[in-house]
Amino acid sequence: MRHASVFLWGCFSWNGVGPLSFTEGNMDRFIYRNILQDVMLPYAEWEMPLRFIFQQDNDPKHTSALVSEWFQNNNIHVLQWPAQSPDLNPIENLWEEVERRIRIQRFPPTSNL
């Protein structure tokens, strides 16, 4: 039995938890940019229409020229973040809890997600 890999992207703001995006397999800078465009931006424009600061870690796909250009073209300020600092990133606590709960659950095939 082959186990599939699913990448989960999520966000939250002072207003609460935002949408989730599921991607089968590995995520690259193109998929990440598409998630920003199709998932994050509509959420941010609806929940925080005036202005917001986006926070992400320093994963290479997050800091790629393609993604940096997308942020610049969309006039989104990205918080500069120290390298290797997951303890400072509030979403890491959420992902830790998600991983803990996944380990104790049985899930259907990814096609059912």
8 A C-beta contact, residue 110 and residue 4: yes
pLDDT at site 94:
76
What is the sign of the dihedral through the CA atoms of 20, 29, 49 and 82? Answer: positive
Query: What is the overall mean pLDDT for the chain?
Result: 83
DSSP codes of every residue in the chain: -PPP-EEEEEEEETTEEEEEEEEES---HHHHHHHIIIIIHHHHHHH--S--EE-----TTTSSHHHHHHHHHTT-EE----TT-GGG-THHHHHHHHHHHHHT-----GGG-
Q: Which CATH superfamily is domain 6-112 in?
A: Ribonuclease H-like superfamily/Ribonuclease H (3.30.420.10)
pLDDT tens readout for residues 66-87: 999 999 999 999 988 776 676 7
Per-residue tokens: 74: 């969309």
Asked whether the CA dihedral 26, 100, 39, 70 is positive or negative, the reply is negative
| Domain segments of the chain as ranges | 6-112
pTM confidence score: 0.77
Q: What is the pLDDT of residue 15?
A: 81
**Any idea which of 22-31, 32-41, 43-52, 59-68 has the lowest mean pLDDT?**
43-52
pLDDT tens per residue across span 6-38: 788 888 888 888 888 988 888 899 999 999 999
More confident residue, 21 or 4: 21
